[in-house]
Amino acid sequence: MLKAFSCVVSQEKGTPFFVSSFNGAAMVLKSFTKWR
């Protein structure tokens, strides 16, 4: 779902930086929830 969302965002905005930052935030969120 996150990947699909990032794909849509990249197609709409055309900004890979935003997509990479979004993926990074998602990874951090995942690891944070895993620690909890």
Residue 18, C-beta contacts closer than 8 angstroms, at least 6 positions apart: 9, 10
pLDDT of residue 7: 55
> What pLDDT score does 36 carry?
63
What pLDDT score does 9 carry?
57
**Strand, coil or helix: 18:** helix
Indicate if the pLDDT at residue 3 is higher than 60.
yes
More confidently predicted of 9 and 30: 30
Question: 26 CB contacts (<8 Å, ≥6 apart)?
Answer: 2
d(CA 8, CA 14): 9
pLDDT, tens digit, 9 for 90 and up, residues 11-32: 555 556 666 677 778 888 888 8
Q: What is the pTM of this model?
A: 0.40
The domain containing residue 21 runs over which residues? 1-35
Please count the structural domains in the chain.
1
